[in-house]
Amino acid sequence: MKLSKIFEEKPKRWGFRGDPYFWDHLKGLAENMDIVSPEELEEWIKKEYFSLSGKALTDEYMDFAVIEQFAHGGMSSGGVDNTWWMEEGIPLLKSRLSELR
C-alpha cells in the first residue's frame, strides 16, 4: 500500500491558503512511497517543508512560510501555517497512518 492513501480525504479546515497545496504536493510525492512509521512520516513532512521554504517546520506560534509555487492569489497566498501542520495536519496524518498499519 502506498503512503498517498493517508492523504486521500482532505481536511475540512486549513490554516493558510498554501496549506492545501502543500498537502497535494506531499500526496503526489507519497504516491511513490511505501508506508512508513509515524515518526518517519513526521520527519519526511518536515524535510519537505524545509526543502521548499528554507525554514524549519516548528510549533512556534504563528510561524509560517510563504512558498511561491503555492501562491495563487489572496491575502495568505502561498502561506503554509506551521501551527496548523504541527497541531492538526501532522497529527491527523499520523493517526490515519496508525490505522493502516
Q: What pTM was estimated for this model as a whole?
A: 0.92
12-35 burial, b at 16+ Cβ within 10 Å, e below that, comes to: eebbbbbbbbbbebbbeebeeeee
Going by pLDDT thresholds of 50, 70 and 90, the confidence category of residue 53 is very high
Over residues 13-31, the mean pLDDT reads 95
Would you state the pLDDT for residue 75?
Answer: 67
Over residues 44-70, the mean pLDDT reads 90
Going by pLDDT thresholds of 50, 70 and 90, the confidence category of residue 88 is very high
Residue 36, classed as helix, strand or coil, is coil
Element (H, E) at 81: strand 79-81
Distance (Å) of CA 35 to CA 9, 41, 45, 55, 75? 17, 9, 14, 26, 36
Q: pLDDT digit string (tens) for 60-78?
A: 767 889 888 898 777 668 8
